Amino acid sequence: MATLAPKVKITFKTCDISRLASTEQVGDEIIAEVDRLDIVMLKAGIMAVDAAVSVDGYEIQMATNHLGHAMLIRRLMPLLKSTAKQYGEARVVNLTSIAYTQAPRAGVEFATLTTPQKELGGLIPGGKYSRHGQSKLAH
């Protein structure tokens, strides 16, 4: 099988994106291993799971679909900026879905983000879809 870019190095990292410490650690590992980062694509996520909180105490879908990504970019931003300065550009591609339309009408319920948000409501009855939509809206 022919490779289009045989000299491009691809590395896979294991990370529990719902855990801020795991995300921070992976960001630190990347910074220690490379001196250039041209692109970061964010797509990890969960959808419509039962009400829960992450180990850090945030609603689990928000922790996984938004906060973990934000922490990763926060850690990688100095490397992205130095890459852009030296090579002309670096990119963060943040993928989401139309599920943001399931968010509560008022948007992200910041006051209850440190709870499971069992009673969160939105356009579709049932908190798991509203929680998912809010995490996508934040994304």
Active-site pick, 13, 58, 87, 136? 136
DSSP one-letter string for the chain: ---S-TT---------TT-HHHHHHHHHHHHHH-S---EEEE-----SPPS-B-TTSSBHHHIIIIIHHHHHHHHHHHHHHHHHHHHS--EEEE---GGGGGS-TT---GGGTTS--TT---SSSSHHHHHHHHHHHH-
Check if 129 is active-site: yes
Check if 136 is active-site: yes
Active-site pick, 13, 58, 100, 129? 129
Query: So which residues are the catalytic ones?
Result: 129, 136
